[in-house]
Structures are given as C-alpha cells and as structure tokens.
Amino acid sequence: MAAPNWLSDAVLYQIYPQSFADSDGDGIGDLRGIAEHLDYLAWLGVTAVWLNPCFVSPMRDAGYDVADYLTIAPRYGNNDDLADLADKARTRGIRLLLDLVAGHTSDTHPWFVASAHDEDDHRYIWADSGPGGRLPERFVRSPGPRPGGYLPNFFDFQPALNFGYARQKADEPWRQGTEAEGPLANRAALRTIMDYWLGLGVSGFRVDMASSLVKDDPSFAETARLWREVRAWLDRAHPDAVLLSEWGDPAVAVPAGFHADFFLHFGGPDPGRPLLSLWSNGVATGPAGRDPEACYFGADGQGNAGTFLTAYRDALAAIGEPGHIALPTANHDFPRLHAGPRTSEQLPPAFAFLLTFPTLPAVYYGDEIGMRYIPGLPDTEGSISVVSSFNRAGSRTPMQWDSSPNAGFSDAPATRLYLPVDPDRGRPTVAGQRADQGSLLHLVRDLIALRRAYPELGPAGSLEILSDAYPLAYLRGGRFLVVINPSDRDRVLPHDRPKLAEATAVKQTGVRLDQETVSAGPFSFGIFRL
C-alpha cells in the first residue's frame, strides 16, 4: 500500500483546462496558458496538478467523452505541449497528473464505431433486442449496422467499455466474465494509455468513475481485482507514479489498488455524507432525494464535524495508514466553497482546516482566491449532470487573474469565452490578492508553506480531537493546536490543560487561549505551537 513519498505530503491543485488560461485568444484555456502560470503555482506552493481530460473529444461531456486517448485535443495544444508542461512543472517541483477516463469512451471513438459495425467485437457491452424490438433496461439503441444496443456509462453518448460482469446469467449473454476477450483487450488498452503519458513525463492519473468498470459487482471484488492488477503493473513499470480514484469511498478504493481516493459528493456507505457534512450549504449536488443537512462550515453553526471525523477515522482504520484520503475544496462536478449563502469571510477557517488536517488537500483552481460558484449559466458541454441535474458550469468559469478584460483569462471577445467570467465588479483576482498581504490567497499560501515546513501538520502527524463542536479543536503531532470556528458568533471551549495558555500563535485570527478556555471569534481560526 505504500505510496511514492511525494504523494504523502502533496498539496494537490486541480485545473479545469478550458478555464485556466487562454494563450492563443480562442476563448478556451490551453496547455501553454497553464505553462505560463506555473510560476504562480510554484509561488502558491502546490506540489501536484491534476488536469481534467484534455484529449481529442467531441466535448459533449467537456472531454469526459474521449475519442482518442493518445492525442491532446487541438484546442489545448498538442502532445509536445503536454510533455513541455510536465517538464516545466517538474523543474518547479510540481508533478502533473492527467485524467484517465477508464470506464467509457465517446460514441465517436474508433473502437466504438468499429464495435457498432461488427457483431463479434466485444470491447463494449452489446445486447440484442428482445420481443417487440425492446432492449434490456438502460441499453441504448445501436447507432450502426449492428443490431441491438449498448450499455452507456454516464451520458448516452458515453458507451461503457466492457470489463465484464461479476455475475453471469444464462439469459443475459452480454454479461461476459472479466477474462473474456473484450475485457482483456480493454485492460491492456488502459496500460498502453497510461504507459504512453507516463513516458511523456506525467506522474499519474486521477481515474474517472473508477468504481464503474466491472458491472453488477456490488462488493467491488472484481473491480478491485482489476485495479490491483493495474497497480501491480504500475508499481513495476512506473514506481513513482500514482493513481487517484474518483470513487468517493477511500476505505474501499485504496484497498482496491489506488494510492488515494477523494471524499466526494457521492460514494461510500452513506453516499457523499462525509464531504457534504463539511461544505454543502444548500447549493446541492448530493444524491437526489436526500434531505439537505446543515454543514459544519455554515455560518449558522448548526453542523456537526463529528460526521466527517467519524468517516475519516473509519476510512483510516480500513486503510491502515494516513496519507491516502484526499479532501477537495470543490471540483468541476460540485459547487465551489464560495457558493450560495457562504461569504468570503467564511473561507479562511475552511482553508485552515483543509491545510492542517491529515487528509491530502486538493485545491480546486480559483478557490484559493475565493472565486464564486455562479448559478444560472447555460448548459455548456454537458455541464448539466445526468445524475443530479445540477449545473456544473457555475464551478467551471474562467480563472480570475487580474483586472484586465476577461479578468486576464483570454484576449478573445467576451462573447467567445468558454464560459462567462464572474460578472461581479468586486470579483477577486490573483493580482489583487497578491498585492494584499491580508488576502485569502496569501493565507492559503502561508498555510501551504506551514504544512510543508512542519510534517506534523500533514498525514505524518498524529491527530487528537479536543472538540468536534464549535469551535473544532485538535492537536497535530502533539505539538500544534488548531482551533477552527466557521460560525458567525463567539465560541468558548472550556479545557483542563492550563499549558495551552502558553502556546505561541503561528497563524491566527480572533482566537484567544486562556488557562481554562479557548475563545474563538466569528469565522476565526488559530494554529498554535505548544
């Protein structure tokens, strides 16, 4: 289970390539644009960047519908630009991770087109139509000469690659075993794809819908067998590379072969709840039908950090060692931290928590300056999710660099941008916040620097929870006290450790330590050395 050393103290940063920086003025971000901003990322202190898919695609799901795994989409540049980006990042101490869409392709991928013309091709899951031309549930009618239909994985235009079924049924012949020819070819293809990009200098992958590969696999035993096989190959062929899963259940995903998994807005025994119980404040993306629940980082102070802490401990117990559980501020599928009723003054305690907890922190681009989730945007490249009908476009708007037109994202006319820039005149920018020592950006940078300077604040340090209410208080590595109050009123925590009063503040806003109490003002946090 050991991970390459670099991962355990990594600070991840996710870039949605469409929206980070446009170097050629077409209104869409690109790889050169990212390369031009590597000095910013190095200044911020992040150590690994994950890029959403940037491969040839009809872009009906923003690139998660891959039509050629081995070629960069022209709108982002070319394969040399990618190699160049990985190289330039590495010289700044930043590793580059790509997104591996393992479970499905676009319906325009040549593999699928061939499969729709050849009844003996089993790279995808095909079923014949039954009486009255009816297809089995969830199957989509064949677009080619092949009769019957195929199983999609997400949107209908994303046919599931065939990795086999965990259970066979005599009357459902499309349920092939995991060792059938199609599944074997697909597993080999995954290795070819990974090998190619790792050879160009990338350091690993975030694996899309990682739990979806083997069908009808309720215990994930066969899916885990598949990923452990991939992992064994990776450990031999590319021992420094990592696989992070989009699974939402680290307790299952890490034993299944991933180096780390994210707590997400879905996944796990109580789907999505660990993450939602921290951040989700009514701009919902959780499973449909779920009652909204107060979150811990809500101003009203009605949440409960215990939900997350219990899930963290349970996951850790299953995994056995810290450093494998990633906690994102947001991603391209769910709202940014600054969403709905949450104001910018509520963001500092959230970042103080993120960067002093033993999870792997993942900062979604723009969250470090407090960019907003923007409601009401048009459905863009499949941004309205099939699962929740949540519009993901609001989390995907252009990075706000400075006060020039289009916030410095692009020279294109505003009408040609991939998505509009936040129209708020007071929108935060990198340039504005770099010039202001009291900004969120400087705080995030300082917190990252602290985490890197003191391993006790990362996965290596022990964790002792002193209070899981308001304020949240915990000791890291027996040496640092962290106090977090995300609520809008003063909070007092009685304690019986008079020595706490002697601790030195390393970084704090509005927290006071006395012999018998810790007092935390509204939206405050404190990191103290004992």
Q: Please report, as ranges, the residues that interact with ligand GLC according to CB under 6 A.
A: 61, 64, 101, 154, 208-209, 246, 332-333
Name the 3-class secondary structure at 496.
Answer: coil
Q: 95: number of CA atoms within 13 Å, CB side?
A: 22
Smallest distance from the beta carbon of 253 to ligand GLC, in angstroms? 14
Smallest distance from the beta carbon of 156 to ligand GLC, in angstroms? 12
- Ramachandran area for residue 321 (φ above 0: left; ψ -120 to 50: alpha; else beta): beta
Residue with Cβ nearer ligand GLC (23 or 395): 395
CA distances 415 to 23, 363, 394, 501, Å, are 17, 28, 17, 57
How many angstroms separate the CA atoms of 277 and 274, rounded? Answer: 5
How many angstroms separate the CA atoms of 195 and 189, rounded? Answer: 10
Residue with Cβ nearer ligand GLC (47 or 105): 105
Smallest distance from the beta carbon of 208 to ligand GLC, in angstroms? 5
Residue with Cβ nearer ligand GLC (246 or 368): 246
CA-wise closest residue to 144 among 110, 113, 105? 113
**Neighbouring C-beta atoms of residue 260, cutoff 10 Å:** 27
Smallest distance from the beta carbon of 384 to ligand GLC, in angstroms? 10
How many angstroms separate the CA atoms of 155 and 61, rounded? Answer: 8
Which DSSP helix (H) or strand (E) runs through 42? helix 38-44
Smallest distance from the beta carbon of 485 to ligand GLC, in angstroms? 32
Residue with Cβ nearer ligand GLC (123 or 491): 123
Smallest distance from the beta carbon of 63 to ligand GLC, in angstroms? 9
Smallest distance from the beta carbon of 231 to ligand GLC, in angstroms? 20
Smallest distance from the beta carbon of 332 to ligand GLC, in angstroms? 6
DSSP string for residues in 129-173: --GGGPPPTT-EE-SSSS-SEE-BSSSTTSBBB---BSS--TT-T
Residue with Cβ nearer ligand GLC (83 or 377): 377
Residue with Cβ nearer ligand GLC (104 or 495): 104
Question: 12-15 and 360-364 as β-strands: parallel, antiparallel, unpaired?
Answer: parallel
Radius of gyration of the chain (CA): 23
Are 156 and 139 contacting, i.e. CB atoms less than 8 angstroms apart? no
- What beta strand segments (E) does 16-56 contain? 48-51, 55-56
Smallest distance from the beta carbon of 391 to ligand GLC, in angstroms? 12
Residue with Cβ nearer ligand GLC (222 or 246): 246
Beta pairing partners, 519? 492, 512
Residue with Cβ nearer ligand GLC (154 or 263): 154
Residue with Cβ nearer ligand GLC (209 or 315): 209
How many angstroms separate the CA atoms of 270 and 527, rounded? Answer: 31
DSSP code at position 497: -
Closest residue to ligand GLC, based on beta-carbon distance = 64
